[in-house]
Amino acid sequence: MELLDNLALGFSTALLVQNILYCFVGVLLGTAVGVLPGIGPTATVAMLLPITFSFEPVTALIMLAGIYYGAQYGGSTTAILINLPGESSAAVTALDGHEMARQGRAGPALAAAAIGSFFAGTVATVALAVAAPPLAQVALKFGPAEYFSLVLLGLILSIALARGTALKALAMIALGVMFGTVGQDIYTGTPRFVLDQRELYGGIDFVSVAVGMFGVAEILRNLENEHTRTAIVSKVKNLWPTAEDRRRIVAPILRGTGLGAALGVLPGSGHVLASFSSYAVEKRISKRQQDFGRGAIEGVAGPESANNAAAQTSFIPLLTLGLPAHPVMALMVGAFIVHGITPGPNVITDEPALFWGLIASMWIGNLLLVLLNLPLIGIWVYMLRIPYGVLFPMIILFAAIGTYSLGFNAYDLYAIVFFGILGYILIKCGCEPAPLLLGFVLGPLLEENLRRALIISRGDVSVFLTRPISAVLLALAVAALVVAALPTIRKRREVVFAEEE
Amino acid sequence: MERRRSLPDVLAGGIFILIGGAFVVGSLGYELGTPLRMGPGYFPLLVGSIVAALGLAVVVKGLIAGEAISFGAIPWRAVIAILLAVVFFGFAVRRLGFVPTSAVTALLTTLASRRVRPLTALAVAAGLTVAATLIFIVALQLPLPLWGPWLEF
């Protein structure tokens, strides 16, 4: 069987000592930043990216991926123990998870989260292995027109899932695409918007954008009202769930896995959507609806499984189409490019060891996460006592050094400051930073394919509608836009109606 | 229908208009070309106009039916300290060298917090400088001078 051969190749790559080691380092770091509030995986990956440049490409990507799904995992630990979701997708877990902890059942809650996540991670990894190759085959037939429409669809889908109004998210995407045009034009070599600074000819480094918008802006937000984090952590005992618990979590885990695996493919914040929908589903079909919010183990197991399944399948668009579904993946695109690999459908045939090694490492990473989290829970609890006054200077200093070491270019640091200020103001105005970063990364792709498609069609704009795949993708993009706009209209109406009454 | 102004909405929209407008003006300085052979200015002009148009829409919506967002206080001290620290690192690392630059950057950043005591700040900065030197110079072999030309006599 081809799939088995491929997986065998993957495991033989992922089981190399250095790959296991860096997979471990990745999930360890990921769990740490997931546990610590105020620093997310995006800023961490941005900081560590320069370090990975000296690694083998597959090792680098294994570690970066580990940080990403490790963080999803770590976020739920704090959500359960101290009602502080380290990651947005863990917000749902806090509802019932923390309630369970307050009733002295933190152990079973953590165990349910761990078992659910591991099961979901395993299934979703298989789903990724099965679904990715055929999708890549389809994607290989894509011409510039299809790619343009696909990138556009990806960008628009990412707003459908962002918080805040669709209008602002759309504006953030466009702003990101626009900043992506800074630097030399690919066709003519004309330097654009470089303000006569030679250092800007290569464009703005996306690490600067990420560190500014996700690192600096986030820290400034946290420093707005400083308060000592009083981590009153309940003692964790009796990790193993009771027979009753075990019976109750089976179905939610299965449903959460399916839901998460499907929703994770959507760009934007599919994993957040996955955990929220899973909670909603479990609550609706449960016979004990009154238990939800009062420590129902189903409300932990379902969303956690969904969240982790989505974290795995969100690699599908990245690995098959080269489209990042999450800011962390946008950074991973950068890692691919630095190593001379263009992310997209060709990766699977050109770099099979890398492709399958990365997939196999995710399963190993999930196993490591269970081992890390259940017995070592005490260490993570201890980490919560690190004062923020030590944490944020470390983030800033390491981010500054890391970014500088990318190209030994001081302008990369000035760009951090620019995007830090811009991001801070815009976030305060209710704009999400993630769409901007996605737009920034995908913008050059959008421009290149637009121009190439129009050269091939001799300037005929209708090419995007006459080619069937492109037309379907554009239609989907329009539909997504309408759907994204609708809830706003509906909500607005409700508000208006409420005021009239 | 009650009109609800939202200042953050107007501000965000204003920023979009301003930056979008700046890119539009800038892109007019480059060759635009035709749809068949787009010049370097074509795509930025297009996107810049979209940004500005969306910004205008955000402003209008902010004036009619704005999103209720509490803007909150601005931690000026933190803003200045952190941004200064990052700029300083970029400016000084080649000139002063890695160790002094890291120390000053760390110290400046530590001072961003209003709750920090001077001694704690010094201790944190010293610890971070040592850690950064060990990680980036010793372990990762970053080719940066520990002490820069400005400190050599």
The stretch A375-388 carries a mean pLDDT of 77
Of the candidates A131, A148, A151, the residue with the CA atom closest to the CA atom of residue A355:
A131
Mutate to test the interface with B, among A148, A165, A168 (most CBs of B within 10 A): A168
The answer to whether B54 contacts A420, with C-beta atoms less than 8 Å apart, is no
SS3 per-residue string spanning A142-182: CCHHHHHHHHHHHHHHHHHCCCCCHHHHHHHHHHHHHHCCC
Where does residue B117 rank: exposed (0-12), middle (13-18), buried (19+ CB within 10 A)? exposed
The answer to whether A397 contacts B39, with C-beta atoms less than 8 Å apart, is no
| CB-closest option in B2, B38, B69 to A499 | B2
Specify the higher pLDDT residue, A163 or A395: A395
Look at residue A324 and give its three-state secondary structure.
coil
| CB-closest option in A54, A220, A410 to B79 | A220
Of the candidates A175, A203, A176, A178, the residue with the CA atom closest to the CA atom of residue A440:
A176
**Please, what is the average pLDDT of chain B?**
87
The stretch A143-160 carries a mean pLDDT of 84
Q: Are A321 and A345 in contact (CB under 8 A)?
A: yes
Report the percent of chain A where pLDDT is more than 90.
12
Cβ contacts of A267 within 8 Å, gap of 6 or more: A154, A155, A157, A158, A161, A317, A323, A324, A325, A326, A438
Q: With 50 as the cut, is the pLDDT of residue A499 above it? A: no
Specify the higher pLDDT residue, B83 or A334: B83
Q: With 90 as the cut, is the pLDDT of residue B107 above it? A: yes
Q: What is the pLDDT of residue A475?
A: 92
The answer to whether B124 contacts A390, with C-beta atoms less than 8 Å apart, is yes
Whole-angstrom Cα distance, residue A499 to residue A487?
18
Question: What residues of chain B lie within 8 A of the CB of A420, using their CB?
Answer: 82-83, 86
* Identity of residue B150: W
Q: What is the pLDDT of residue A328?
A: 82
Phi, psi dihedrals of residue A454, rounded to the nearest 5°:
-75, -30
Q: What is the pLDDT of residue A445?
A: 84
Specify the higher pLDDT residue, B149 or A65: A65
ipTM of the modeled complex: 0.92
Specify the higher pLDDT residue, A356 or A226: A356
Phi, psi dihedrals of residue A136, rounded to the nearest 5°:
-65, -35
Model confidence at A269, in pLDDT bands (50, 70, 90)?
low
Q: With 50 as the cut, is the pLDDT of residue A495 above it? A: no
Question: What residues of chain A lie within 8 A of the CB of B73, using their CB?
Answer: 224-225
Q: What is the pLDDT of residue B106?
A: 94
Q: What is the pLDDT of residue A162?
A: 61
Question: What residues of chain B lie within 8 A of the CB of A428, using their CB?
Answer: 8, 69, 71-72
For residue A375, CA distances in Å to A238, A310, A372 come to 12, 25, 6
Kindly report the pTM of this predicted structure.
Answer: 0.82
Look at residue A203 and give its three-state secondary structure.
coil
Q: Are A310 and A260 in contact (CB under 8 A)?
A: yes
Mutate to test the interface with B, among A159, A401, A428 (most CBs of B within 10 A): A401
- In terms of CA atoms, which chain B residue is nearest residue A457? B36
Question: What residues of chain B lie within 8 A of the CB of A390, using their CB?
Answer: 124
Q: How many other C-beta atoms are found inside a 10 Å radius of the C-beta of residue A211?
A: 31
Q: With 70 as the cut, is the pLDDT of residue B43 above it? A: yes
Question: What residues of chain B lie within 8 A of the CB of A165, using their CB?
Answer: 61, 67
Q: With 50 as the cut, is the pLDDT of residue A496 above it? A: no
Q: With 80 as the cut, is the pLDDT of residue A338 above it? A: no
Q: Are A37 and A94 in contact (CB under 8 A)?
A: no
Q: What is the pLDDT of residue A235?
A: 60
Q: Is A366 left (phi over 0), alpha (psi -120 to 50) or beta?
A: alpha
The answer to whether A404 contacts B9, with C-beta atoms less than 8 Å apart, is no
Question: What residues of chain B lie within 8 A of the CB of A461, using their CB?
Answer: 35
**Please, what is the average pLDDT of chain A?**
82
Cβ contacts of A232 within 8 Å, gap of 6 or more: A82
Angle at CA of residue A76, ends A17 and A71, nearest 5°: 40
Q: What is the pLDDT of residue B57?
A: 92
Dump pLDDT digits (tens) for A397-439.
988 888 888 788 889 999 999 999 999 999 888 888 888 888 8
The separation between CA A153 and the C-alpha centre of its own chain, rounded to angstroms, equals: 18
Whole-angstrom Cα distance, residue A11 to residue A3?
12
Q: What is the pLDDT of residue B45?
A: 93
The answer to whether A171 contacts B83, with C-beta atoms less than 8 Å apart, is no
Of the candidates A410, A204, A51, the residue with the CA atom closest to the CA atom of residue B95:
A410
The separation between CA A83 and the C-alpha centre of its own chain, rounded to angstroms, equals: 22
Q: Are strands A183-184 and A191-192 parallel, antiparallel or unpaired?
A: antiparallel
The stretch B130-139 carries a mean pLDDT of 87
- In terms of CA atoms, which chain B residue is nearest residue A499? B2
Q: Are A242 and A430 in contact (CB under 8 A)?
A: no
Whole-angstrom Cα distance, residue A107 to residue A92?
18
Specify the higher pLDDT residue, B109 or A99: B109
Q: What is the pLDDT of residue A287?
A: 80
Q: Are A83 and A379 in contact (CB under 8 A)?
A: no
- In terms of CA atoms, which chain B residue is nearest residue A418? B83
Question: What residues of chain B lie within 8 A of the CB of A178, using their CB?
Answer: 19-20, 23, 44, 47-48, 51
Q: How many other C-beta atoms are found inside a 10 Å radius of the C-beta of residue B67?
A: 20
DSSP A233: P
The answer to whether A167 contacts B15, with C-beta atoms less than 8 Å apart, is no
The answer to whether A389 contacts B120, with C-beta atoms less than 8 Å apart, is yes
Report the percent of chain A where pLDDT is more than 70.
90
Q: With 60 as the cut, is the pLDDT of residue B153 above it? A: no
Report the percent of chain B where pLDDT is more than 90.
48
- In terms of CA atoms, which chain A residue is nearest residue B24? A178
Model confidence at A489, in pLDDT bands (50, 70, 90)?
low
The DSSP result for A18-48, as a single string, is HHHHHHHHHHHHHHHHHHSTT--HHHHHHHH
User: For chain B, what is the radius of gyration of the CA atoms?
Assistant: 23
